[in-house]
């Protein structure tokens, strides 16, 4: 129990109660409120700055002209502006790391985590439906996944049927691991047909595919009672690491988008900011582009490292909603990321153990349970 705070000198005062009291600072109870402030600041500054699909908005001719332009001095040399952005990113990273270590001890966060954890068996269904929508949306446009990857122009219109077939398997839940392998095969064919044009979507597609390959509809690929040796160990290891594989692949994808697309070709996003009159809060469009690159790359790094993955996924999903409304893009094209964000929000970074046939449903690890649940478990064991 924390020690009581001694009275203030001069006797009690009728001053307004502070939002964060001194006792809360010493006991660490200020962190949830600081998280709220950080969330509000991120939503105010970063919302709508990330995850814009430049090829969906700009024509190929415009993109080619912009790519030929030299890199602006703001991005090519070290200056006070990009140094300040870098320091802000480091400070935000420190805050994220600190909150990730301490928020898990807050009772409200523990209860929310336990509630979300109960939906873990539904994650394969969420990802199957999200990937299916992406495949059917791309097939309806004669493209592979997204409109700029036109299969007709690439001379491979037959792949549209393959997309529909894989989507049908995923929707029906038939042979999900085979469907995941076919999805990865489609991505490999797309890499051969389109080259680097498919790389901005590689992790977004490969992450759910690897998750479904490891977990299928939720059951292990090789049940322990039917297999022995290294095959059973490999199956169990992949099953347990599926959420981490999803987070890392999606996080690396976002880092690539933030660094390679927004930072080293900043003219693309700057043109979008100017054309659609994005709120810049008095900043120059180039500075807004740099902030967008920092937020996107930082969000991807947080997902890959497992720092507050639930909060990070929700913030990125909020940015997607804002961007879709601002640019009037097709909502179906973003369904895949909404599904990924929901999956990460449900599972977070807690480690699940391979289920055993006939065993009761899994619960959170002991150190991640709420105190009242730990007490009930101890009483039951006694």
The pLDDT of residue 44 is 41
Residue 131: CA atoms inside 13 Å, Cβ hemisphere, count?
37
Q: Are 350 and 244 in contact (CB under 8 A)?
A: no
At 189-205, the pLDDT tens digits run 999 999 988 999 999 99
Instruction: Quote the pLDDT of residue 14.
Output: 46
Q: What is the pLDDT along the chain (382 residues), one digit of tens a residue?
A: 445 544 444 444 444 444 444 444 444 454 445 444 444 444 444 434 444 467 777 778 888 888 888 989 999 999 999 999 999 999 999 999 999 988 888 888 889 999 998 899 999 999 999 999 999 999 999 999 998 899 988 889 999 999 999 999 999 998 999 999 999 999 999 999 999 889 999 999 999 999 999 988 875 554 444 445 555 666 778 888 999 999 999 999 999 999 998 999 999 889 888 888 888 888 899 999 999 899 899 999 999 999 999 999 999 998 888 877 777 777 788 899 999 999 999 999 877 666 544 444 455 554 455 555 555 555 554 5
**What is the pLDDT, as a whole number, of residue 302?**
95
């Amino acid at each position: 129990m924390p020690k009581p705070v001694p009275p203030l000198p001069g006797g009690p005062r009728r001053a307004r109660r502070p939002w964060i009291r001194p006792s809360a600072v010493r006991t660490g109870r200020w962190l949830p409120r600081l998280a709220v402030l950080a969330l509000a600041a991120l939503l105010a500054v970063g919302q709508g700055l990330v995850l814009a699909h430049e090829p969906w908005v700009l024509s190929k001719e415009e993109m080619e002209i912009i790519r030929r332009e030299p890199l602006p001095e703001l991005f090519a040399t070290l200056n006070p502006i990009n140094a300040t952005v870098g320091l802000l990113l480091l400070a935000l990273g420190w805050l994220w790391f600190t909150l990730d270590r301490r928020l898990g001890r807050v009772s409200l966060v523990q209860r929310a985590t336990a509630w979300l954890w109960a939906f873990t068996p539904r994650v394969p269904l969420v990802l199957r439906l999200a990937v299916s929508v992406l495949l059917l949306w791309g097939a309806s446009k004669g493209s592979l996944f997204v409109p700029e990857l036109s299969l007709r122009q690439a001379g491979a219109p037959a792949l549209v049927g393959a997309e529909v077939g894989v989507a049908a398997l995923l929707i029906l839940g038939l042979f999900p691991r085979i469907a995941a392998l076919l999805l990865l095969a489609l991505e490999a064919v797309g890499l051969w047909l389109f080259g680097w044009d498919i790389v901005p979507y590689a992790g977004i597609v490969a992450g759910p595919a690897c998750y479904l390959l490891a977990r299928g509809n939720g059951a292990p690929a090789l049940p322990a009672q039917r297999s022995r040796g290294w095959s059973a160990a490999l199956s169990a290891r992949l099953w347990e690491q599926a959420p981490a594989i999803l987070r890392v692949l999606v996080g690396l994808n976002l880092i690539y988008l933030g660094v390679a697309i927004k930072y080293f070709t900043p003219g693309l996003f700057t043109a979008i900011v100017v054309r659609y009159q994005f709120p810049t809060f008095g900043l120059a469009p180039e500075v807004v582009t740099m902030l967008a690159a920092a937020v996107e790359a930082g969000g991807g790094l947080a997902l890959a490292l497992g720092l507050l993955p639930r909060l990070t996924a929700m913030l990125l999903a909020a940015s997607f909603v804002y961007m879709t409304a601002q640019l009037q893009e097709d909502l179906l094209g973003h369904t895949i990321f909404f599904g990924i964000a929901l999956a990460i929000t449900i599972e977070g970074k807690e480690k699940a153990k391979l289920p055993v046939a006939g065993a009761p449903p899994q619960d959170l690890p002991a150190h991640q349970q709420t105190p009242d649940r730990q007490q009930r478990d101890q009483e039951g064991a006694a």
